[in-house]
Chain A
Amino acid sequence: MSYVSLSEQDKKEMLSRIGVSSVDDLFCCIPDDIRLKGELRLPPPLTEPELVELFESIGRRNREGVHLSFLGAGAYRHHIPYIVDYLSSRGEFISPYTPYQPEVSQGTLQVIFEYQTLICQLTGMEISNASLYDGASAAAEAVLMAERLKGRPKILVAGSLHPQYREVIRTYVRNLNIRVEESEYDEKGQVDIEKLRRMIDGETSAVVCQSPNFFGVIEKLDLLAEIAHEHQALFVVLVSEAISLGLLRPPGAAGADIVAGEGQSLGLPLSFGGPYLGFMACRKEFIRQFPGRIAGETNDVDGKRGFVLTLSTREQHIRREKATSNICTNQAWCALRATIFLETLGQEGMCELARQNIQKANYALDSLGTLKGVKRKFGGPVFNEFVLEFEGGYKKVHEHLLSQGVLGGLALEPLYPGLKNCALFCVTEVHGKADIDRLTGLIGEAVS
């Protein structure tokens, strides 16, 4: 296939206007001895039907689709209203560039402005940016921002923060003078408050935690905020399951200074990990250190309301090495999907969705917890995920489930060597009672 639009006649006339005899002459600025001789070694071109056939056959090598899945751990299956796909697939949303020219980008800009508002409302914060890459890199940006604001060398990160978020934070700070220390979790699966008190000091820029945390457990945000603020450190709250914001008191109300996280649950399919949606919100006073693009309201020459990308003096294209972040392209189209998703669900839908998630997961947890040889690992309250400990090990349970077409929870030992025989299960509104009962029945079989 070729997507070129010139005819041979066009080419001839254009070359003649340029005043060269062949296209090759236009490449004379590349010294001959370093030009590629011969063709790239790539497979021959395909037509559309061949291409579709190829990708269907590659896709079929994924044998996951037939399973009833209880995997979560930072990537969640939720129902996506059909109009999210329908509206977001419009060419006017997929194919424009970043809205640097506001007069011809009011669609994208107003969507970002609405998105920022929705994120503020959900998190209870004053300002939001236009999006970041994903939850993990948003966590890292939040840490860098906290360090810029406080100028202290230490960051205290909860051990119950998603392992990948912790990894990305470590990658981002590895060449900067920032020390990351991990706090422990207690038997409830929450941040160990006493140990945290001993770790925090005047060198600490921020206390970073996730709620619901990686184990699905809801943290005591008020208490954590208090401890952070006692030491004039910032309190950073990360959220990997954004649906929880439809039910739980927003981090902003609990005293968070920066809230960031993963917006995948808001209308983005699992997609083997991406594209997802990093979101970030903070208090207004931190605006000068806020990373990423931001849309703002203004008016045109006739006083008509319009939107522009604003405060760009924070950004790399103006400030270069003094910018608050190097981020340029973000996840605008994913933010559009989240905006459509949230506006379609509305307040009632979002609250109901969150309510169903917590009810169903806890129904599952209660049923599974009664099985002999299966134990609820952590006592803290859970949203839509929970950790189970299997007396006889998890491997054979997982295998039994797979043999019956069920994808069980995520084995935690590779991520937390201390959590031997434990697995993290996720239950959302997509699971019917029958699915949950089936899981309970199959696990019962496996452990008996």
Chain B
Amino acid sequence: MSREPLIFELSAATKKGFALPKLDVPENKGLLEGLPVRAGIPGFPQVSEIEVVRHFTRLSQENFCIDTSFYPLGSCTMKYNPKINEKVAALAHFQASHPYAPQELVQGNLEVLKTLEEFLAEITGMDAVTLQPSAGAQGELVGMMLIRAFLGDRGDARKIVLIPDSAHGTNPSSAHICGYRVQEVKSNDRGTIDLQALERVMTSEVAALMITNPNTLGVFEWDIRKICDIVHARGGLVYMDGANMNALVGKFRPGDMGIDVIHLNLHKTFSTPHGGGGPGCGPVGVKKPLEPFLPVPVVEKGETGLGLNFRRPKSIGRVRGFYGNFLVMVKALAYIRSLGAAGLKEAAEVAVLNSNYIRKSLEGIYHLKYASPTLHECVFSDKLQKERGILNIDIAKRLIDYGLHPPTMSFPLIVPGALMIEPTETESRRDLDQFIEAMKAIAREAVETPDILHSAPHRAPVGRLDETKAARNPVLRWEPPKD
């Protein structure tokens, strides 16, 4: 089967995909005189409407997606995206709303913001929440900035941020952009933070510990309270990466147990779609002492209704335009309202049940480096298959042939050859069993017909792609053919 051409290859002058109404004001011919105008847009496509429709429909069919396939992607929480949430977010009241409209005309929008902030504060046990960050990584950055501003306000210029060796790559990167030096904390043989190691590195130079809980192995930090105590005793703060909050909703509130700052991913725990890589939303929750530092504006209740407060002298400032990814917030609010407290807790419970079911079913067939109990995800590795020359990537690519998305492989770095699996609560028993059976079959193939793994996938729109070539000789855009 030949692949879908690039739109530029379908283009021809005078083809049209859209017509605008005629200009209905008198044209001022002199207007453009002396202006730096362009003659055209060289290479820009010209296609018909049906060509656009077929192009994108065919391209869409080359994607795996939640609506068609199981995504056992660890740490990504690829749960079902309820369709009704798309509908409410598309209501004209929200979609057609201008962000500079006078506040008295957008009370509905402000209510969405305020209510969601309150709900997320209740879910996490924090005192205040900002919804402005556009994704988890921006939430991390805001969280680090809040900590730095808070400490700076006390005249406490600390320079180091501690990060466990199991952390996601955005953690060190976010701390770095905030001007901090990153120091790693070793995990113990249970895969959790080693308290003694923490004691050793937790000095008066340390601003914060960034902790993911449950961590990227899916293991809950049993000593979270002691961890917070150690950090607090030496004047530092504890930041929690809430990427894995789906395991904890209704079960554990970070704010009750010493966490000072947390970010959430609405596109994980709260079901908003990933969109092929965004838009997301990464709200940040804080305890009271950090509230004055939150980004502006802040929604506040006033005498005449809700309003936006831009004047907060201690605020770190804005981190993006307007109020963040508003429609994503509408969807997350709709999700919380649909499920209620009991539904959210059920989601956490079933996510953990599904993950443990997979873990139990594959234990022994794939190597599990850490024996600790896990919550919403589990991290196997390719250690057993590697003896026969099969790597995690071969297993992952072969899964595609079984109609399944590969698990996460790029981290945690403490598990070489990781296969990080997070099924979420929305998968059915049948889907889980199909995944388990596929994984077992692949383990057999690794012994019996290893070549079929090396050359996988065999049933995808393209075979295994040459990523080295793409990086060595970057072709990052289409160029018109040279005559």
Contacts and interface: CB of A to CB of B under 8 A. Distances in A.
A353 B317 contact: no
Interface stretch (A153-161, A167-175, A202-210): A167-175
Interface string B409-422: 01100000000000
Contact of B410 (A30, A120, A317): A317
Given A3-B79, A128-B476, A316-B169, A40 B327 contact: no
Given A40-B122, A103-B400, A296-B471, A95 B61 contact: no
B63 A304 contact: no
Interface string B187-208: 0000000000000000000000
Contacts of B57: 87, 90
Contact of B353 (A26, A95, A271): A26
A345 B38 contact: no
A127 B125 CA distance: 44
A74 B224 CA distance: 44
A102 B224 CA distance: 38
A30 to B, nearest CB: 5
Nearest to A324: B173
A51 B317 contact: no
Contacts of A62: 93-94, 97, 101, 105-109
A107 B62 contact: yes
B15 A346 contact: yes
B6 A110 contact: yes
B250 interface: yes
* Chain A interface residue number, banded: 35 or more
A137 interface: yes
B375 A310 contact: no
A404 interface: no
Best-buried of B44, B82, B350 by chain A (most CB within 10 Å): B44
A104 B6 CA distance: 18
A242 interface: no
A413 B168 CA distance: 44
A332 B276 contact: yes
Nearest to B83: A91
Contacts of A448: none
B375 to A, nearest CB: 7
Given A34-B225, A120-B477, A17 B20 contact: no
B94 A271 contact: yes
Contacts of B469: 298-299
A108 B276 contact: yes
Contacts of B4: 110
Contacts, number: 663
Nearest to B50: A83
A39 B341 contact: yes
A182 interface: no
A247 interface: yes
Nearest to A162: B321
Instruction: Count chain A CB atoms within 10 A of each CB in B31, B98, B220, B225 and give the residue with the most.
Output: B98
B347 interface: yes
Most buried by A among B275, B324, B339: B275
Contacts of B122: 40-42
A10 B433 CA distance: 11
B425 A3 contact: yes
A298 B470 contact: yes
Interface stretch (A186-194, A226-234, A357-365): A357-365
A273 B137 CA distance: 20
Contacts of B19: 349
B152 to A, nearest CB: 9
A340 interface: yes
Interface in B435-483: 455, 457, 460-467, 469-471, 474-478
B426 A136 contact: no
A287 B473 CA distance: 12
A86 B17 CA distance: 14
A300 B173 contact: no
A359 B25 contact: yes
Contacts of A11: 350, 353
Contact of B326 (A65, A102, A274, A356): A274
Contacts of B94: 59, 62, 271-272
A92 B65 contact: yes
A442 interface: no
A23 B353 contact: yes
Interface in A107-138: 107-108, 110-111, 113-114, 116-118, 120-122, 126-128, 130-131, 133-137
Nearest to B51: A343
Interface stretch (B231-239, B284-292, B330-338): B330-338
B134 interface: yes
Contacts of A92: 60-61, 63, 65, 67-68
Contact of B476 (A19, A107, A294, A299): A294
Contacts of A79: 20
B38 A247 contact: yes
Contacts of B87: 52
Given A63-B107, A92-B68, 18 more contacts: A17-B360, A28-B373, A34-B225, A34-B252, A36-B251, A59-B108, A95-B273, A117-B43, A131-B278, A164-B321, A218-B36, A300-B464, A301-B463, A308-B467, A321-B175, A326-B140, A329-B267, A332-B277
